[in-house]
Amino acid sequence: MEGVRVGKRIIGGQSPVIVGWENIPKVEGGPVKQFVFTWFQPTILFALIAFWYYAPNSIAKASTAIGIGIGFKVLLLAMEWAFPRHESWRLTWKELTTDLFYVGLGYTVLRLVDDYIGDGVMIESILHQFDWDKFSWFLGLPLLLQAFLIAFIFDFGQYWMHRGMHNWYPLWLTHSVHHYITQLNINKGAVGNPVELFLIGLGIGGFFDFLPRAALLAGAFGMAIGTYQHINVRFNSPRWWRYLFNTTEHHSLHHSQDFEASRSNYSNTFIFIDRMFGTCVDGEAELLGMEGGRRMSIREQMTFPFTEGWKTMKERFGRTTAVPAE
Partner 1 sequence: MNSRFINWIWHVRGSLALAPEQSGDDAFERLVPLFRQTGTSHKRTSDSLTFRKIDPAAQDKMSVFDGGVLRIEQGVGGEVLHYNLTSRALLFCFLAPLLFLAFAQLTVLKGKFDKPPAETADKAEALKKAKRESAMLIQNPIDKALGAPAPEKPKKDEKRGGDRKASPKAAYIFAGIFAALYFVGRIWEARLVGSLFRKRLSE
Summarize as ranges the residues that interact with partner 1 (CB under 8 A).
53-57, 60-63, 88, 92-98, 100-101, 104, 107-109, 111-112, 115, 120, 127, 130, 132-133, 135-136, 139-143, 181-183, 209-213, 292-298, 300
Closest separation between CB of residue 89 and partner 1, Å? 8
Q: Count Cβ atoms below 10 Å from residue 64 Cβ, excluding itself.
A: 15
Separation of alpha carbons 250 and 242, rounded Å = 9
Cβ-based nearer residue to partner 1, 182 or 256: 182
Q: What are phi and psi of 256, to 5 degrees?
A: -60, 155
Q: How far is the CB of 101 from partner 1 (least distance, A)?
A: 7
**Which residues have a Cβ under 8 Å from the Cβ of 120 and sit 6 or more positions away?**
114, 206
CB 100 within 8 A of CB 187: yes
Cβ nearer to partner 1, comparing 129 with 321: 129
63 or 321: whose CB is closer to partner 1? 63
Output 107 or 160, the one with its CB closest to partner 1. 107
Closest separation between CB of residue 285 and partner 1, Å? 15
Residues 6+ apart with CB under 8 A from 250: 229, 242, 264, 265, 271, 274, 280, 281, 282, 283, 284
* Residue 98 Cβ vs partner 1, minimum distance, rounded to whole Å: 8
H-only helix segments in the chain:
31-54, 62-82, 93-107, 109-117, 119-129, 136-139, 143-165, 169-176, 194-201, 212-221, 239-244, 248-254, 259-262, 272-276, 298-317
- For the four alpha carbons of 242, 243, 247 and 251, in that order, the dihedral sign comes to positive
b or e along 268-300 (b: 16 or more beta carbons within 10 Å of the residue's beta carbon)?
Answer: bbbbbbbeeeebbbbbbbbbbbbeeeebbeeee
d(CA 1, CA 258) in angstroms, rounded, equals 11
Q: Which is nearer to partner 1, 147 or 173 (CB)?
A: 147
Q: Nearest distance from residue 109's CB to partner 1, in Å?
A: 5
For residue 281, give Cα distances in angstroms to 15, 34, 224, 313.
Answer: 15, 25, 22, 34
Nearer to partner 1, 28 or 115 (CB): 115
Write down the least CB distance from residue 296 to partner 1, Å: 7
Taking the least distance from each CB to partner 1, the nearer of 63 and 320 is 63
The CB-of-33 to partner 1 minimum distance in angstroms stands at 26
Of the pair 60, 281, the CB lying nearest partner 1 is at 60
Q: Which is nearer to partner 1, 206 or 226 (CB)?
A: 206
CB of 325 to partner 1, least distance (A): 42
CA distances to 87, 166, 185 from 90, rounded to whole Å, are: 5, 27, 8
Backbone angles phi, psi at 5, to 5 degrees: -80, 125
Distance CA(296)–CA(191), nearest Å, equals 11
Whole-number minimum distance, CB 283 to partner 1, in Å? 22
